[in-house]
Every structure is written in C-alpha cells, then in structure tokens.
Structure 1
Amino acid sequence: MAAPWMKTIEACGLDAEALRALVQDEMAQASVLRLRGVTPPGEPLPFWRSVGEVLGPSCDVVEDSVTGQPKVVPGAWMDVRFEPDRPDTYRHHKVGQPLHSDGAYSPADYADQIALFYLERQARTGGESLFVDAATVAERARAQDPALHAALTTLPVQFGKVGAGRTTPILSTRNGRLKINWNYFRVLPGQGEAVDRLREAFRRFLEDMIEDGAVTCFRLEARDVVFFRDDEVLHGRRDFQAEQSGERLLWKTYFLPPAQTAAHRSRTAAAA
C-alpha cells in the first residue's frame, strides 16, 4: 500500500530534537505534513526554521512585496498578510487563491524546495487551505479527459516572473516521484494555441476539482505548521473575512535539499 501523501500529527510536547527527527522521517515519504499543538519555547519563526533545516539549508531569497523582485534577507520569512489596501495581489488580499505551485517560475535548481507555512493568526471565518497531490490530479485527468492528461504530461510550458523562469510539462516524473508545476498567472504569453488551450482547460479542471470536493480542505489554526513539497502538490485557499491589517497572517519559508545548496549560494550572491 502506498504511503499517504498527506499526514496530520498532533505533536504537543515534542521538543526541537524530537520534531526534527519526526519531520525528517515523515517528509521522506509524504508530500504534506501538518503539525498541530506545538508551543515553541521562544520565538516561533527561528524555532521552526531550525526544525526545518533538518531537510536542508534554508533559503534566504524572498520576493519583495511591492516589486516582486528577489532579494536576500538572511533568516527571513515571507509574510502572507491581509492588507486592506493591497487588493492587487493574492498575497495580501482576502479573496480565494487558485491552486498553484509557489515556485512554478523558479529556476530548475529550486524545483525540489520544501515549503514551510506557519500560521500566526487565522481570520475570523474562512481561509481554509486547499491541497491536492500530483497523483490525484493525474488520475482524475486520465479518467475524465485523456486528451488533457496527454497535454499535461507532454506539452512543455514556459512559466516566468521578473526575469526568472522554467519550462516543463505540468506533470512530469523526476527521481521516481510524480511532480506537478502550475501557476495560471505565470504562463508566459506567445507560446502558441496549444499552450493557450491547455492553460484555460487546466484552470477549469482544477476549479471543478474544488467544486466537486476532490481536493483536501482544512482550516489551519494559530500555531499550526505545514511542511510540503512544492513540486508534488498544488495549494490554494478559500476566501476569508477580514477588515484590519494582519487579521490573517501566515509566514512561509523554504528549504533546499543539500544537492541544490551550491546553486542556491550562487543565486543568493547574485541577488545580494
């Protein structure tokens, strides 16, 4: 029997050493690991960053909230914070966010990054997280629309943002694991009618999956954390109610497998 792609564990009472061992063990197989009930002894962000580094070095390159340009901030996390005056970006808005990969347009050297979400503050209502793994997407597409499945697995698509980019089929296999790479808004224009058709067809397909309850939906609570392999799942969120700045606040950071450390150091130096 295949191991479950997502696991939720009540980790109350575990110290940092025990959590590092747990995360390393579970993420060897799972694509998503949700941990609940942990109360860090000090500041939560440095604590969880140190736990996550059992998976590989942490990434110090973050996106500027205004320009979208990469910048180096050692030890930094990116905030996904509701801001009432920023309806221009999902990162700061309260509308639902479509299923996507965070690093869809990142260079291939970053393809295996593992993300960590830490929820500091949840909205009064709404804001449920959505996750679906590559295998579930592939199986549904194969069964319901073989032509779509063929395009997802064979047609190269170029994704890009602010100078960074990657070209890959949306579904592929790497190192024996099924991978998925997708962001509707980062599919670059001018790639021909086949890519245009695929872009719209896959958007509708994923919307139908959400409508049909074919994706995993759960509501994070304050202090919950989620580790996930960004190249093996898509994630999104439902809309939420908020009026004041920071009413919903999630922090995220990323870890790279040791094999990608050299490439990361080179890009970090270039972005500095």
Structure 2
Amino acid sequence: MGGAALAVRDLVAGYGPVSALRDVSIDVPDGAVVTVLGGNGAGKSTLLRAISRTLSFHGGAMTGGSVTLDGRPLDGRGADRVVAAGVSQVPEGRQVFARMTVEDNLRAGALGARGPRTAKAAALRRVHELFPVLAERARQQAGLLSGGEQQMLAVGRALMASPRLLLLDEPSLGLAPLMAARIGDTIREINGQGTSVLLVEQNAALALRLATHAYVLEVGEVTLSGPAAELAASDEVRRRYLGVVDETAADDASRATAAHPVLSRWEDSR
C-alpha cells in the first residue's frame, strides 16, 4: 500500500459569515508526515474537515480554492467518496460509538472502503497488530475503554478503510504523557508502513518530532512553514509553541530577581 500526495491551494472556508480559513495552501508529499500547528481557533480542524469533505456536517462550507489527491480533485466529492479515494480522518475527541462494541466500531470504519473481504480482513489484522488491546477488548463496549484506548480505537477505525492518507486531529489531546508518546510511536509506525499523514496537534514538541515538514496556522492563515527541524529551532516557534523562553530574557529575569529579591512574606504565602 502506497501513500498519497495531497495539495491544498488557496483554500477559503468558514461557517456562515465567519471566515475560518483564508487562502491556505499546504502540501503533503507521498509517504510524508506533515504537521499543522496553531492555537485554539486557528482553523486547524476546519482545514481537515475541508479536506475530508465533512465541513458541511459542522455547518461550514468551502468557498474557494482546491484540494487534490495525486492530482485528482477531492473538492466536490461527498465524504464517502473521499474515503473511497483513500483519505480517512480521525476526529478530535475520538468520537467512538460508545454503545457499540470495539469490534463493531472497527467494522464501521470499513464501510466506505473499496475492495474485497480479504482486504478488510487484512486491515483488521493490521489494526490488531498495531493495537493488541483492541483484539482483547473486541466484545467490550467502546465507551468503557480508557481515554488512551479510545484514541487507539479511533485510529484503528480510520485504518480499517486502508487509507493512503490519514488525517489526525489532536490525537494526543487529554492523554497522559506516556500514552501520548505511545500514540506518537504508532503514528511513526503507520507512516513507516507507507501511509501519508497530515497531523493537527497542539503538542508541538511531539508533532515536530514526528513530522518532516510543518505549517503554523494563525487566525486562518499560514504564517510559517518549512522543514520541521527548522521550525523546531525557530525562536518564535520555541517561544510560542514549545514553551522555551529566550536565553537572554531568562538571564535578564535572573538578574532582576537577584537585584530585587522577593519579600519573605510573599515566599511564605506560596
């Protein structure tokens, strides 16, 4: 199974009178992991919804630009046809079918996929190899899984369609650091098996470790882009998304503290 090349050009999208994306252009080369960083309200989820053609389900619409996969247009297709074309999305918040079993959740993920039963059986084996716990909990209701296990199920459900391009919306959200790292390892493994990945993630440190190329969205516009390693070394990205304070500023703060020590009564009240 090979990956797919995605090209988004001058994308404009919004919700009624509210503009969410303005002239956004990004590329996901065949077989690559590309990440989109940005704060809340930057338009990251809107971008993924526009690509997967699910934006209308959220009251939004794409009003300009184009989205192509291997040179073939995705805009204008229904969401089911986008899945059939090889694009699957893992939505923010997991969105598993809580009352359905793990097994039935995975079966639901294969509904839009093309191919014979043997292909679906192979996809299920792949999911169970990536997430053995899903095989162990096959008959359990999805709503009874832990948060990390539900995220595994959400990713596994998307993989049941054997996508060539996987869209991931905040996969580490709400997870403990150890589980977030485990999800990161799985993304790397999925990509290593040939699937292209477009990753939207607020955990910038994790995202930049996984990706080869990165974009920064701010208020619906791309403000920075480049190789992930270069963005990780950027002072602006380090300050705004990695929580790293400029060394000069840190030295200044240390000198200020030495010159003006904190009063003991404030220290006692901490």
Please indicate the TM-score interval, normalised by the length of the shorter structure.
under 0.3
Q: Which has the higher contact order (CA 8 A, sep 6+)?
A: 1
Greater fraction of residues in helix: 2
Q: TM-score, normalised by structure 2?
A: 0.27
Q: TM-score, normalised by structure 1?
A: 0.27
Which of these two proteins has the greater Rg computed from alpha carbons? Answer: 2
